[in-house]
Amino acid sequence: MMELVRKAYLSFILLFLYAPILILIAYSFNSGTYSTEWEGFTLDWYKSLAKSSDLLEITFNSFLLAFLAATGATIVGTAAAIALKRYQFLGKKAMQGLLFALLMSPDVVMGIALLVLFVALRMDLGFFTLLLSHITFGIPFVIVTVMGRITSLDENLTQAASDLGASEFQTLHKVILPLLWPAVLSGWLLAFTLSMDDVIISFFVSGPDFEILPLRIYSMVRLGVKPEINALCTILFILTMAIVFTSRKLVGDEE
Amino acid sequence: MRKILVGLSWGWLLVFALIPLLMLFVVSFFHRGVSEFFVVGFTLENYIRLFDPIYFTVFFKSVVLALVTTVFCLLLGYPFAYFMASYGKSARSYLMILVIIPFWTSSLIRTYATMLILRTNGLLNTILLKFGIISEPLEILYTEWAVYIGMVYTLLPFMILPLYSAVEKLDRQYLQAASDLGASPWQTFIRVTLPLTLPGIIAGSLLVFLPALGLFYIPDILGGAKSLVVGSFIKNQFLAARNWPFGAAISVFLCLMMGAGIWLYLWVKKRVSPEEARS
């Protein structure tokens, strides 16, 4: 009896979490344009998506942005994580506090703060402002991910490296980074998905000449969504699943 | 090497995190500009305006929305985390992935899909009508109910994960001891399980409450124009009303409220598990 209740409850919550995603996938194959009734299977939306160069270009923009932003955030974030772990430096406590504030501050506040900065610097809103912003909000997540692994790093290894005459750079390059690799990679993936998903910060720092997918979907949702979007979302969902499982496998193999 | 690593990380955070946040704080004391975004000067009027009943209502409604969302997430998430922890190792990690996957997919897309389900001729109404549970379609979309459903749906994983790690750490021998000593299951739950999982409850509540305060697109999409929350209020001050100093003041106030929430969390955590907080 208890077992039944348990299974039923878990299924109910999982259904709640997955129903919207499943509906979206189903609609992407539905031949009715705006109706919610099932009117037969079709691949038309995928075909017209393939022809809609506009949507594909925006999707490409989003991928490019997420790729560069994740890479930037991973470089700065990993540097920060190693610096925080290995060195004593001026303002270390302040940096930790700032990172905590960055992690906790609402996206809308981060978005307008960056907008104020870019306006003060007289930068045109567009690709570069988006990239700088996306790198910034990815950094604390990379640090948290990499920090988790650094703390379990055996200090004897780095000690041994420097005892054997390795320079600080060599220790970093030959010992620390290879050991941190899985965490760095999952930090990158986290920054990548966060960048792909972000609506709020992008909303403030984007300009008309570089459109990205979340903002296009946001404006579409309010004005009326083309069925091609369902097809695009389905493809993106499957891609995300593939990324999640690959990253879990990568990290899982290490454990 | 040390210089490069420290310089890179500090430099970036200084330019793109500390300075923008400080600028925002400074702007909140400026005057409103007519043709430019703000006029340099010192005034407290932006903060005084916050206490105007019109604006205060927005704050109050946002806090209520965030609180109700948190409570619903807790009520739905606790049994889930509890049941999840009672399974074997492989089933647990399987369930864990299932909870995490929605978090990895675009929340905007999922919110849009929720809209498809909730609208008048949407899936929910179609099913309920077909089975004769209701005779008239329910008007859920563009009401507060839709906003609550959307918020709980998006934030539930943030509640489940910390709750789960708290329940998982729970030493089941304590529960055994309580029942051996004659406590009813309910008493065991209230007197033993609940206090021991309190850190998880608080962490989860914070992870739900804080984003719930700032999210503006879910109320925007699911609640229609009727629901104005503090997030969209700030957005409007910056993009529509073009009153940057006032928008900045609202943001500072929002951050103070969140800061108070975090402080409360750390304070409770220290009380509940002093050894853990010290380490």
* B60: amino acid identity, one letter: F
Q: What pLDDT, on the 0 to 100 scale, is given for residue B277? A: 44
A136 reaches B (C-beta below 8 A): yes
pLDDT digits over A18-53, tens only?
Answer: 998 888 888 889 887 666 667 788 888 899 888 888
Q: Per the structure block, which two tokens stand in for A195?
A: 């960048």
Query: What is the rounded CA–CA span in Å between residue B77 and residue B163?
Result: 8
Average pLDDT across chain A, whole number = 87
| Total count of domains within chain B | 1
Give the one of A115, A168, A244 whose C-beta lies nearest to B101's C-beta.
A244
Q: Does A214 touch chain B (CB under 8 A)?
A: yes
CATH class name, domain A53-254: mainly alpha
Report the pLDDT averaged over residues B100-111: 81
pLDDT level of residue B278 (50, 70, 90 thresholds): very low
Nearest 5 degrees, angle CA B58-CA B254-CA B114?
60
CB contact under 8 A, A237 and B105: yes
Query: Considering CB atoms only, which of A6, A106, A167 is closest to B258?
Result: A106
Contact A36 B24 (CB under 8 A): no
- Subunit contact B115:A116, Cβ cutoff 8 A: no
Is B19 contained in some domain? no
CB contact burial A124-142 (16+ within 10 A = b; e otherwise):
ebbbebbbbbbbbbbbbbb
The pLDDT of residue B274 = 54
Antiparallel, parallel or unpaired: β B31-32 and B38-39: antiparallel
More confident residue, A250 or B21: B21
pLDDT: which is higher, B68 or A168: B68
Are B12 and A139 within 8 A, CB to CB?
yes
Asked if the structure places residue B26 within a domain, the reply is no
Mean pLDDT rounded to a whole number for chain B: 86
- B130 lies in some domain: yes
CATH classification at residue B273: 1.10.3720.10
In a domain, B31, yes or no: no
% of chain B at pLDDT higher than 90: 28
Query: A125 CB near a chain B CB, below 8 Å?
Result: no
Facing B83 at nearest CB: one of A10, A98, A120: A10
A247 touches chain B (CB under 8 A): no
Q: What is the pLDDT of residues B36-56, one digit of tens each?
A: 788 888 889 999 988 888 888
**Candidate from A17, A115, A199 with C-beta closest to B108:** A199
Q: Amino acid letter at A128?
A: F
- In single-letter form, the type of residue at position B66 comes to A
Backbone angles phi, psi at B32, to 5 degrees: -75, 140
Question: Residue B233 pLDDT more than 60?
Answer: yes
pLDDT value at residue A253? 52
Identify the pLDDT of residue B102: 81
B142/chain A closest Cα distance in angstroms: 12
Which A positions 164-193 lie with beta carbon below 8 A of chain B? 167-169, 172, 193
Task: Identify all chain B residues contacting A17, using CB atoms and an 8 Å cutoff.
Answer: 98-99, 102, 153, 156-157
Tell me the pLDDT band of B239, cut-offs 50, 70 and 90. Answer: confident
Return the minimum-mean-pLDDT range out of B140-149, B191-200, B231-240, B268-277: B268-277
* Cβ pair B102:A197 closer than 8 A: no
Q: Using 50, 70 and 90 to split pLDDT, how confident is the model at B279?
A: very low
The distance of A36 to chain B (nearest Cα, Å) reads 6
Tokens 């506040």 belong to which residue?
A109
Helix residue ranges, H only, chain B: 2-13, 19-27, 45-50, 53-85, 89-104, 107-118, 123-130, 144-169, 172-180, 185-188, 194-196, 198-214, 217-222, 230-239, 244-272, 274-278
- Is the model's pLDDT at B190 over the cut of 90? no
Q: How far is CA B77 from CA A17, A19, B43, B98, B155, in A?
A: 12, 17, 45, 14, 10
Q: Give the DSSP letter string of B53-87.
A: HHHHHHHHHHHHHHHHHHHHHHHHHHHHHHHHHTS
> Quick one: pLDDT at residue A35?
60
pLDDT of A180:
87
Q: What is residue A255's predicted lDDT score, i.e. its pLDDT?
A: 44
pLDDT band at B227 (very low <50, low <70, confident <90, very high): low
CA A43, CA A160: separation in Å to the nearest integer? 60
Q: Under an 8 A CB cutoff, do A23 and B116 touch?
A: yes
Q: Which of A82, A61, A52 shows the shortest CA–CA distance to A226? A: A52
Q: Do A79 and B8 touch (CB under 8 A)?
A: yes
Interface residue of B46, B93, B94, B106 to substitute, partner A, most A CBs within 10 Å: B106
- pLDDT over threshold 80, residue B272: no
Amino acid at B168: E
Question: What pLDDT is attached to residue A143?
Answer: 93
Query: Where in chain A are the domains?
Result: 53-254
Report yes or no on B9 lying in a domain: no
For an interface test with A, the pick among B2, B3, B6 (most A C-beta atoms closer than 10 Å) comes out as B6
A161: how many CB neighbours lie within 10 A of its CB?
Answer: 18
Is B210 close to A104, i.e. CB distance below 8 A? yes
Residue stretches of chain A with pLDDT short of 70: 33-37, 250-255
**Cα torsion B14, B19, B25, B26: sign:** positive
Highest averaged pLDDT of the listed ranges A72-76, A251-255, B158-162, B223-227: A72-76
3-class SS at A41?
strand
Coil, helix or strand at residue B38: strand
User: Does a structural domain hold residue B258?
Assistant: yes
Q: What is the CA radius of gyration of chain A?
A: 22
Mutate one of A3, A117, A131, A192 to test the B interface: name it (highest B CB count within 10 A): A117
Q: Is the pLDDT of residue B219 over 70?
A: yes
Give the residue from B187, B165, B204 showing the smallest Cα distance to B76: B204
Restricting to A residues 79-118, those with a Cβ less than 8 Å away from any Cβ of B are 79-80, 82-84, 86-87, 89, 91, 95, 98-99, 101-102, 104-110, 112-117
Nearest to A104 among B17, B80, B262 (CB): B262
**pTM score, whole prediction:** 0.86
- Residue B273: its pLDDT value, please? 62
Place B174 in a pLDDT band, splitting at 50, 70 and 90. confident
Contacts of A145-149 with CB under 8 Å at 24 or more apart are A145/A183, A145/A186, A145/A187, A145/A190, A146/A77, A146/A78, A146/A81, A146/A82, A146/A180, A146/A183, A146/A184, A146/A187, A147/A81, A147/A84, A147/A85, A148/A183, A149/A179, A149/A180, A149/A182, A149/A183
Q: List the single residue in B23, B106, B238 with the smallest CB-CB distance to A117.
A: B23
Domain range spanning residue B229? 44-278
Q: Is the separation of the CB atoms in B234 and B247 below 8 Å?
A: yes
A161 CA: distance to closest CA in chain B (Å):
15
How many whole angstroms separate alpha carbon A179 and alpha carbon A143? Answer: 15
